[in-house]
Structure 1
Amino acid sequence: MAKHSIELDRVFVALADPTRRAVVRRLGGGPCSVSELAGSFEMTLPSFMKHIRTLESSGLVRSAKRGRVRTCTLDRERLGLLDDWLAEERRRWEQRTDRLEALVSPPMEDL
């Protein structure tokens, strides 16, 4: 469970930044070169590469260099980690609200 938590924390840290979320959104449409991705942001390439490295260390993005071009790809399976966590949290909150509703609602025979 601790390993799962560390991995989830890395994904959340990576997605905490709007630039990195924009990169993930863009890569949702398919692979893209770093230079194409960086062109959408007003920052230096070294600064942008820090964002790419953070996304890579979280496992959300993979990159491969072919010649002089580095291409980034979104790892959609890694997003499943978030989906699983959100689904569990959603179930937990629905159970809580169901219990609260049962507590504050009068029994049907009282109506």
Structure 2
Amino acid sequence: MTAGLHSERTRLAWVRTATLLAVAGLVAAGAGLRGGEGPGMIAPFAVAALCGAILLLRTGARYRRVERALREAGPLDDTADARLAWAGVLCVVAGSLALVLSRV
């Protein structure tokens, strides 16, 4: 392994997570709109897409923070990004559960 690439791999993992969250939220919200679902069913997916989009926008700043923390051997605080990712994932889960329960 090449030294220093772990921050690049971490950045790519965040990009994949954020992209998947944004795309899945948009696709599910779009399907709900086309299917005539109410705002209560569409809102969680729209919030998930928003969380993914924000995470994507923050990718560059997060990468710079990681690199600076590695150079200076300082602590890295990723709690805001992690909480945003969890909020998006929980919105997808809640929306999916609501959608499945409405179909039963």
Check whether TM > 0.5.
no
Structure with more strand by fraction: 1
Q: Flag the structure with more relative contact order, 1 or 2, with Cα contacts below 8 A and sequence separation at least 6.
A: 2
* TM-score in terms of structure 2 length: 0.38
Which is greater in Rg?
1
* TM-score in terms of structure 1 length: 0.36
